[in-house]
Amino acid sequence: MKKFAFIGAGSFGFTRNLVRDILSFPAFADCTIALMDLDEERLGFIKQAVDKIVAAGNYPATVIATTNRAEALQGADGVVCTILANSVDVWRSDIEIPKKYGVDINVGDTRGPAGVFRALRTIPVMLDICRDIEKICPDAVFLNYTNPMTMLCNAMQNYTKVNVIGLCHSVQGTAEMLAGWIGAEAKDISYLCGGINHQAWFLEYKWNGKDAIPLIREAITSRPDIYNAELVRNEMFLHLDYYVTESSGHNSEYNAWFRKRPDLIEKYCTHGTNWNPGLHAYILNEYKKRQTTWKDEIVKWLNEAPIELNRGHEYASEIFNAIFGDGTMFKFYGNINNKGYITNLPQDVCVEVPVLASKYGFEPIHVGALPGQLAALNTVNAINEQLAVEGSITGDPRKVFHAIVNDPLTSAVLSLNEIEQMVDEMFAANRDYLPQFKHVN
């Protein structure tokens, strides 16, 4: 009998889908599901949802709910993390302060000034979780879904002994999107991807064994609907020659090309058919609205939604099954410390590469060297992220400043002195949430 601990289980949709996937494997039908969250109301709702799934599948599984992390981790074989370290009232400043200085951020959960401060608040929490795992269930497999993925994984993999890897949707999601553009079925596509989270690159993309990259280029250049669907990423592909993972909304803020002037924001970041107008507006409007409607949506699902027991497309359950289930090997894309897997990115930065999961654990697959134009952009972002992690671990605000000084978008918009003022203001806004920076005013 295996045990799975969900830390941050109040992420209702994600937790219930992942539980469904885990229970679909015969090796896990009689497992224990430990749901842990600090929000007792959300915890109660997710317990009801998981109980509903267990009953629908007639599984001999056990479900427990607790606000005690140690209790959830006791005896765990697998751990999944989907926490949000702070409320919207805290992290809205990640967007609003840079915006005041002219750095127009769209999402802000991965890198750049917003991603860095989100990481500074979250890294201590993740390291506390890892210390508990080291003491309570040191052999557990820890799968992290919390952002900012690269900085959190860099901290956990470099400063703890936990067997942790980071998972994201962007590689498989982009692969499926591109397949649709060229009229292929996803099952007929094979690919090789490598880089850093949200900025990995399809180095190979084949349809039934034949190079399909020319078909992608043709679709983008001949069909305005496809070009407009992902304006930023399609422009990057047409000029850099390789397709990048994650959405245009995210990628617009990871480089210096699309958000440094109002006219560029208007041209590339406003009218695309898939465009997210920005987290800034989302924070002020939709998120606040959802704080009052989320219970209604969950109650409706609990009372009305039919239970779907077929497995979804998340990696986690397949990984667990490969390592300590029936042993079926599983290849996926994960975020892990670079030990020469990508030869022209720095050692020990967090990279996204193919990984084989088996009863032997995780075996990252060698990618080799990225094309120079891709490695240049990845390297700047990866080193900035590493500096931010070092700043968090040591409590050195100067490292945080230097992590943001070289951020491509920030440095395209602001002078050094302006960046320093912006970072100081962001530290002030986060004073109550960054105890590791005791000497920052």
Question: Any idea what the Cα angle at residue 73 is, between residues 68 and 76, rounded to 5°?
Answer: 155
CA distances to 39, 177, 216, 274 from 183, in Å:
45, 10, 10, 19
3-state secondary structure of 202: strand
333 catalytically annotated = no
Written as six digits, the tokens of 337 are 């410390």
Enumerate the known binding-site residues for Mn(2+): 168, 198
Enumerate the known binding-site residues for substrate: 147
**Torsion sign across C-alpha atoms 89, 94, 98, 99:** negative
Enumerate the known binding-site residues: 147, 168, 198
Q: What is the CA radius of gyration of the chain?
A: 22
- Are residues 388 and 400 in contact, defined by beta-carbon separation less than 8 angstroms? yes
- Which candidate in 59, 101, 145, 254 is catalytic? 254
Sort strands 330-337 and 361-364 into parallel, antiparallel or unpaired.
Answer: unpaired
169 catalytically annotated = yes
- Are residues 409 and 103 in contact, defined by beta-carbon separation less than 8 angstroms? yes
Q: What is the Cα 119 distance to its own chain's centre? A: 12
- Which candidate in 159, 169, 287, 433 is catalytic? 169
Alpha helical stretches, state H, 283-315: 288-304
Please name which of 367, 344, 382, 342 lies closest in space to residue 154, comparing C-alpha atoms.
382
Query: What amino acid positions are annotated as catalytic residues?
Result: 169, 254
